[in-house]
Each structure stands twice: as structure tokens, then as C-alpha cells.
Amino acid sequence: MKTLFIAIMTTSMLLTSTHALANNVTFIIDDIKSDQGKVYVQLFQGEKNYQANNAYLSSIAIAKKGQITITFNNLEDNDYGIRYFHDENDNSAMETNLFGMPIEGYGYSNSAKANYGPVEYQAIKFQVADAAVTNRSTINY
Amino acid sequence: MQRRQLLKNIAGASTCIGASSLLMSVPFAVNAKIVNKNQIDPLANIKTSFADALKDNPSLLGLKNTANNFAHQQLTIEGKLPKDLTGVFYRNGPAKYEQGNQRYSHQFEGDGMINSFTFANGNIVHQGKFVETTKFVQEQQQNKFLYSGPLSDIKNSRKVTQADTVNTANINVIPVDDEIWALWESGSATALDATTLATKRRVNLGANSQYGDKLKGLAFSAHPKIEANGDIWNFGLSLSGHVALYQLSSKGLMKNVGIINARYRGKMLHDFLITHKHILLILPSLTSQADRSHSNLKLFASIEYDSKQPMRVLVIDKQTLTLKKQYELDAGFAFHFGNAWEENDGTIHFDASINDNFKVMDELSEIMSGTAKNLDQNSPHTALFTLKPNGGTTKVVVDGDSEFPRVYDHLVGQRNKTLYTLSHTQSQFWRDTVCCLNMDSGKKDTFIYGDEFIAEEHIIISNTAKEGDGYLLGTALHIPSKRTCLNIFSANNLKGGPICRAWLPYHLPLGLHGNFKAS
């Protein structure tokens, strides 16, 4: 997990300038419980990449109690999904208990909820095509 | 493979959940009597069916929904209350079965209530309070079920992001330091104030230890074993088939944790045992569908008894928490074990209240709609097992049925000569007899309450470390007068009947397990 998230601060994209500027995603995370640590956010393009843990873009935001907003700009037309966690102890990794269940806050686009185990891509995906998109999520602790 | 058809019928389709043992998904609850092919809510049917059944069968009284906490109430004492019996008797069990017009389809789904009986100044005072779990508080606020249970399907159920989301804290209660812990088996313990019964917090097992938050949310079974030195041993099952093993101090501080890959597919493991050297994980002959996340079956409906699958005993070293030996026994299922002990040559002895099927789970569903007629057809019996160092095993079956086995506290993990259980004699509905089995002679000392009573778990209380001393204490529901009584026996003379009986002016919901904290 750590290496996946050590990323690429990339809210302003340099790579895909041929696409419409309107293909921006504004992602709002609600109910963050503290200012401690950071929030690691991954954007996946398509189900295969989600399943393969192959993030299209990643971002790290300073945690802020309440709400934070992350934007991903100039995306290709496609479907995407987002997942994130609140790295409260600032060790660049999502803490889990000994059975592998998260013990730091986490969440998904569409505010999809886990039902023991990762959420299916179908529950988190949203379309990006020639228009700005806003997506919201409430974090789970 | 024996298919537990009733629970499968009870199931419809819907969401699936998947991780720690007792909880998760649910199917539509409908049994043959209450099937309604129209779109009527099956859980509303169960509520109506139970209310109708109760009119004809007063024995169902103890399974009525409990709406409110019980305020302090002094009991009316018959006989002589022993002066050396001072402290608090705590019991736990499901009590909130209904919200709005819905009733759960399995007894194990009800929200837990702690009942305490305080023995002081020659009186006994009762109070009862619901454990205010997150689930309970949320559902009470909205006067409706918000989450599907392990069998009942709640339409538009909120998602269960972790086992503790649906923790009902409804199985057992133990004193820990100056608190009591209400226990479930698929998630965290819940700490309560030992005097007021007010809910304090969800227990983070690693708090103030080297484990920090790494144990947060792990399953902590409802049957910890407390050694004479005060150490609390327990386990927690993951749906992956791994089992966490815990050793805590008497103050609830985690001392040691291990994880065993038991490769157990049964999804339900209720009890375990210790000797002075080893932990015994006794895995019943249960199995389940490989991946319930792709099935519509709820947890309880997904578990099956497999008569071709041996029970397995994993013998684990208590010092290193590593697997030392495995044994295979005849197929069987047991919710409860009494005790285990070990000889110098490594021979291990233990008892189980064992059965050759898993039908009890169906019965505890049928009873919620009041359709169960006779619960003793599938009652378990005591079996005494020996595990030899050379890998051989023996099994001796004790005549008669038995459940809720208990031994003296000071003998947990040590050789016990007596085993106290409940059984049926006159009652066709539930248990009405307490029994002390002498393990050496095979003789039984019994007291039959009779079919006007439903006897609940009885526990041993003794101020000495001598078997035979002290008292046997337990509650019973008197059906004709609709009252619950507390019964105190001399532990070495059950047949003489209770030396003291104390009455509440009303009945309590039938509970599961409890323990005594002496003062």
C-alpha cells in the first residue's frame, strides 16, 4: 500500500493536454475527524486497473477536520473510481488490525460502503466525458 | 452433507456481508407456517405469528420482546439467604427482538441486556439494562431495525462496514478489573460500569499495551477462560478461518497475541478450552459455502453440518501460541465445553455438550415465530474425550442430555471431578433440570424444577478452592405466575432443592450466560 501511495502529487496534469479541459473531477471528502496526518487518494481508470491496484493518478492532501477537496484535471474520457484513506499517524501506510481490517479512516467515490472487504468497482465508478464532475464521499472510521 | 433446509428457506435474496463470524448477511425469514407469497414483510409476519402463538403457549413468555430497561427491584426471598454469598451475579442475553412491526427471525439476533442481581445486606436487588451498542442506540432512536442480522433481512439495510457495526453484545458477561465486559463473539467486547450497568466503551484489546490499535475490532469470543491466577484467555474467529488467541491480565491488559491458520470453514466457533499448558480449539463439523459474497445466503443459512467431516482439535502451546498437535474426532457439533485438563504424560481430558447435527440453529429460528413445538429432540449430551500423546483418542458418552456445562472457577484448566449442566426431564419445551455429574463415579445429583419452569444457566460460587463447597446459583422462569426466580442450591446437594429462592414480581427475558463477582 505504501508504495502505491507514494506518489505523484498530481492535481495539475501535464500529460494529457490533448483532452478537453472540462474533464475535471472535484472530489469532496466529508467527516474527516482530525487535522492529523494526511489523506491519500487514488484515482483508478477502469475496473481492471482497480483490481490490479494500478492507479491512474494519486494525490496526497493535508488532513483537515471536516471536509477536504481534491481535484483531478484533464482526464481522458472514461469511467473512473476513487479510494482513499486518512493516514492519521502519518506513516504513509493504511493501518490494519491483525485480521487485515482497516483501523484508519477510509472511503470510496460515490460514498460507496465496504461490506467486509473491498468495495466492487461497479459501486464506485463514475463517468467522465466532456464535463466537469463533482463526486462526494463520507469517510468511514 | 446435511442441509439445514429451514434456514435456507428462511432466506431470500439480498445484500451480502462477509467477515467476522456471527454476524452478517441475512435472508428473508419465512417458515412453512408463515409463508406469504404476497409482498408482506416476512419479519412482520414473524411478529404476528409469535404474538398469536404466545396466546396458546405461555412457555414462549421468555422470548417476548423486552421494550425497556428494568429499574432496581428488591426480590422477595423464600428460605435462608446464605450470609457468605455477597457480590453481584451478572447475566447477559438477547432481549430486544422487535422494532416497529418487525421481529427478528433468530434468537441470537436480539440486542443484549445485562441483568444484575446484587447480594448485599441480606437482600437481593435486580436491575436490567440494555447494552448501548452503536447499533442499539441508532435503532432505538429511529424505532426500527437499520441493519440486517445474520438471518433476518432488513430492507435497505445500512451497510456493515465492520463487524462491530452490528455488534449486539448479547452472549456473556465477565467481570474485568472494576468493570464488566459484555461479550459477543464476532467483534469487540463492550465495557460497562459494574454498578450502574451504563455502557462505557467498545474495548480496544490492545489499549495500553505493545499492540496499540492492531487488535481494534478483532473478534473476541463470548467464552473466555479465566485461570486461577486471573489471566484471561480467549480466541476470536475470522471468517478467513484464522483464529486469534489472546492472553490478558486480570485487569484486561493484553499480554500476548497469536494467530493460527485453523483452515476452518465453519464460520461459527463459540467456545474453546485450556489446560494448564495448552489451548484447545475444538472445530466442529461445520462448513459453509466458499464465498458468500457471491451468494444470497445469509450467514446462519450458509453454515452446514457435514457428518463426513471429523471434528478437529488443535492443541496450541500457551507460552508460544503455536500449534503443537492435531487430533481428529467423530463428526459432531458443540456450542459449549465444560473443562479440560492434562496429565503429566500429556494425556488431555475434556468434556463437551455435543450433538450429531446442527438443528438447534433451526429451532432457535422457529421459536422466534412461536412455531417450535418441542426443543428437546435435538438436545446435546455430555461426551468425555481423551486425547493420548500417541495420537489415539477415546470418547465416552454420558446418558441423558446436557447443556450449559460449568465447573468450579479455581479448576479451569485443572482436573475437575464435578460437572454441572442443565437438562430436560419433564419439560418438552426447554430445560427444567440441574445436574451435577461426578466424573469419577458417574453418579448424578439432580434437581428437577418441573415443566412449570424454564431453567437457565446455573453457575458455581465458592469462597474456597474445594469442589463440593459453595453454591449453585441460577435463574428460572416460572411460567404460570410469569415471574423469574433466582435459586440457590448447596453445590453438594442439588437433590435437596434450593436452600433459597428469590422472586422478582415479573419475568425477565430468557438469557444465555453469566458470572458472579464476589465482594
Q: Do A116 and B163 touch (CB under 8 A)?
A: yes
What are the residues facing B477 on neighbouring strands? B454, B484
A91 close contact with B: CB closer than 8 A: no
Kindly state whether A95 is in contact with chain B, defined as any CB-CB distance less than 8 angstroms. Answer: yes
Closest CA to B503 of B72, B76, B62: B76
Identify the DSSP state of A89. T
Averaged over B456-480, what is the pLDDT? 97
Q: How far is A31 from chain B (nearest CA, A)?
A: 16
Residue B31's pLDDT band, with cuts at 50, 70 and 90, is very low
Residue of A nearest to B18 (CA): A116
Nearest to B202 by CA among B268, B260, B135, B154: B135
Q: Looking at the predicted structure, is the pLDDT value of residue A17 above 50?
A: no
Q: Does B215 touch chain A (CB under 8 A)?
A: yes
**Closest chain A residue to B242, measured at CA:** A99
Which ranges constitute the DSSP H helices of A12-100?
47-51
**Can you give the pTM of this predicted structure?**
0.88
Residue of chain B whose Cα is closest to the Cα of A96: B214
Cell (9 digits) for B125? 436487588
Q: Which candidate, B184, B27, B31, places its Cα nearest to that of B94?
A: B184
Pairing relationship of beta strands A133-138 and A25-32 according to DSSP bridges: parallel
Distance from CA of A102 to the nearest CA of B (A): 9
From the CA of B518, how many Å to the nearest CA of chain A?
35
Query: What is the average pLDDT across A124-135?
Result: 94
Rounded to whole angstroms, the Cα distance separating B243 from B20 reads: 11
CA nearest to B173, candidates B84, B267, B247, B95: B95
For residues B249 and B176, give the distance between their C-alpha atoms in angstroms, rounded to a whole number: 9
Q: Which residues in chain B are closer than 8 Å to A140, comparing Cβ atoms?
A: 161
pLDDT number for residue A7: 37
What would the grid cell of residue B332 be?
459432531
Residue B407 pLDDT exceeds 70: yes
Cβ of residue B161 closer than 8 Å to a chain A Cβ: yes
- The three cell numbers locating residue B265: 470453514
Please give the interface size between A and B, counted as residue pairs whose CB atoms are below 8 Å apart: 57
Q: Indicate the range of A34-38, A42-46, B24-28, B436-440 predicted with least confidence.
A: B24-28
Average pLDDT over residues B467-473: 97
Query: Which residues on chain B are in Cβ contact (under 8 Å) with A113?
Result: 159, 161
B181 pLDDT more than 70: yes
Contact A103 B242 (CB under 8 A): no
- Tell me, yes or no, if A101 comes closer than 8 A to chain B by beta carbon: yes
Show which of residues 39-78 on chain A sit within 8 Å of chain B, judged by CB atoms: none
Highest mean pLDDT of the ranges A8-17, B12-21, B376-385: B376-385
Distance CA B351, CA B395 (A): 9
Q: Which amino acid is at B495?
A: K
* CA–CA separation, A104 and A37 (whole Å): 11
Inform me whether the pLDDT recorded for B11 exceeds 90: no
B495: DSSP letter: T
Indicate the average pLDDT of chain A: 86
Query: Which three cell numbers, joined as nine digits, stand for A70?
Result: 481534491
Is the minimum CB–CB distance between B23 and chain A shorter than 8 Å?
Answer: no
Band the pLDDT of B34: cuts 50, 70, 90. Answer: very low
Mutation pick from B24, B213, B298 vs chain A, by most beta carbons of A within 10 Å, is: B213
What ipTM goes with this model? 0.72
Q: Residue A22 and residue B387: Cα distance in Å, rounded?
A: 72
- Please report the residues numbered 217 through 246 in chain B whose beta carbons come closer than 8 angstroms to any beta carbon of chain A: 217-219, 238-240, 242, 244
> What mean pLDDT, rounded, does chain B reach?
91
Does B231 have pLDDT greater than 90? yes
Measure the CA–CA gap between B167 and B138, rounded to whole angstroms: 12
Q: With CB atoms and an 8 Å threshold, state whether B218 touches A115.
A: no
Torsion sign (Cα): B204, B210, B213, B219? negative
SS3 category, B228: coil
Q: Is B26 on the interface with A (CB under 8 A)?
A: no
Rounded to an integer, the average pLDDT of B373-382 is: 77
d(CA B202, CA B134): 9
Mutate to test the interface with A, among B16, B20, B156, B161 (most CBs of A within 10 A): B161
CB atoms B216 and A117 under 8 Å: no
Q: How far apart are CA B475 and CA B417, in angstroms?
A: 24
| Minimal C-alpha gap between A94 and chain B (Å) | 12
Identify from B23, B148, B162 which residue to disrupt to test chain A contact, counting A C-beta atoms within 10 A and taking the largest count. Answer: B162
B210 contact A CB<8A = no
pLDDT at B212: 95
Classify B163 as helix, strand or coil: helix
pLDDT at residue B478 is higher than 80: yes
A86 phi and psi angles, rounded to 5 deg: -100, 105
φ, ψ dihedrals at A124, nearest 5°: -110, -10
Range name among B8-12, B195-199, B434-438 with the lowest pLDDT average: B8-12
CATH of B5-518, one of 3.10.180.10, 3.40.640.10, 2.130.10.10, 3.20.20.70: 2.130.10.10
Is A117 in contact with B18 (Cβ distance < 8 A)?
Answer: yes
Which residues contact residue B397 at a Cβ distance below 8 angstroms, ignoring those fewer than 6 apart? B381, B382, B383
pLDDT band for position B289 (cuts 50, 70, 90) = confident
Q: Is the pLDDT of residue B27 over 70?
A: no
Phi, psi (degrees; rounded to nearest 5) at B276 = -70, -15
Residues B380-408 have a mean pLDDT of 96
User: Which secondary structure element, helix H or strand E, spans residue B135, and what is its range?
Assistant: helix B134-142
Grid coordinates representing B139 are 435503532
pLDDT at A56 over 60: yes
Q: Which residue of A has its CA nearest to B162?
A: A116
Spatial separation of the C-alpha atoms in residues A88 and B86, rounded to whole Å: 47
The confidence score (pLDDT) of residue B294 equals: 47
Residue B30: pLDDT above 80?
no
Residue B262 in contact with partner chain A when CB distance is under 8 A: no
pLDDT band at A10, cuts 50/70/90? very low
Domains of chain A, each with CATH number or no CATH: 2-138 (2.60.40)
Listed in sequence order, the residues at least 6 apart from A100 whose beta carbon sits closer than 8 Å to its beta carbon are none
Residue B496: Cβ-neighbour burial (10 angstroms; 0-12, 13-18, 19+) = exposed
* Whether the predicted pLDDT of A105 surpasses 50: yes
Contact B437, B444 (CB under 8 A): yes
Question: Are the Cβ atoms of B15 and A140 closer than 8 angstroms?
Answer: no
Residue-level pLDDT at B312: 98
How many angstroms away from the CA of B214 is the closest CA of chain A? 4
Give the DSSP letter of residue A74: S
User: Domain residues of chain B, as ranges?
Assistant: 5-518
Chain A residues with CB under 8 Å of B259 CB are 98
* pLDDT band (50, 70, 90) for residue B375: low
Q: Does B18 touch chain A (CB under 8 A)?
A: yes
**pLDDT, tens digit (0-9, with 9 covering 90-100), for A81-90:** 999 999 999 9
pLDDT over threshold 80, residue B14:
no
pLDDT, tens only, B247-276: 999 999 999 999 999 999 999 999 999 999
**Grid-cell match 500449534, residue found:** B323
A113 in contact with B, Cβ within 8 Å: yes
Residue B9's pLDDT band (cuts 50, 70, 90):
low
The one-letter code for the residue type at B466 is K
Position B250: which residue type?
A: S
pLDDT digits (tens, 9 = 90+) for B88-119: 999 999 999 999 999 999 999 999 999 999 99
What is the rounded distance in angstroms from the CA atom of residue B383 to the CA atom of residue B444?
Answer: 15
Q: Is a pLDDT exceeding 80 seen at residue B28? A: no
Q: Are B303 and B358 in contact (CB under 8 A)?
A: yes
CB–CB contact A116 B19 (8 Å): yes
Do B162 and A116 make contact, defined as CB atoms within 8 angstroms? yes
CA–CA gap between residue B11 and residue B3 (Å, rounded): 13
Taking the C-alpha atoms of residue B37 and residue B30, their distance in angstroms, rounded to an integer, is 10
Q: Which of B18, B159, B218 sits opposite A99 (nearest CB)?
A: B218
Q: Which pLDDT score, from 0 to 100, does residue B16 have?
A: 30
For an interface test with B, the pick among A106, A115, A139 (most B C-beta atoms closer than 10 Å) comes out as: A115
Q: Residue B352: is it exposed, middle or buried by C-beta count within 10 angstroms (0-12/13-18/19+)?
A: buried
Residue A17's closest CA among A71, A74, A73, A57?
Answer: A74
pLDDT in tens, B319-359: 999 999 999 999 999 999 999 999 999 999 999 999 999 99
What share of chain B has pLDDT > 70, as a percent? 90
Amino acid making up residue B241 = G
Q: Cα(A92)–Cα(A6) distance, rounded to whole angstroms? A: 7
Ordered DSSP codes for B355-417: ES--THHHHHHHGGGT----S-TT--EEEEEEE-TTS-EEEEEPSS--EEEE--GGGTTS--S
DSSP 3-state assignment of A109? helix
Other beta carbons within 10 Å of B107: 21
Distance CA B258, CA A131 (A): 52
State mean pLDDT over A98-124. 88
pLDDT at residue B322 in the model: 97
Minimum distance, in Å, between the CA of residue B12 and any CA atom of chain A: 18
Whether pLDDT at B401 is above 80: yes
CA distance B21 to B53: 31
Share of chain A above pLDDT 90, in %: 75
A116 and B17 within 8 Å at the Cβ level: the answer is yes
CA-wise closest residue to A105 among A11, A41, A43, A54:
A41
B89 grid coordinates: 451475579
Band the pLDDT of B5: cuts 50, 70, 90. low
- Which grid cell is A127? 463517468
Q: Tell me the mean pLDDT in the region B395-420.
A: 97
How far apart CA B458 and CA B89 sit, in angstroms, is: 11
B363 membership: H or E segment, kind and range: helix B360-366
Tell me which chain A residue has its CA closest to the CA of residue B216: A97
Residue A27 carries which side chain, given as an amino acid letter?
F
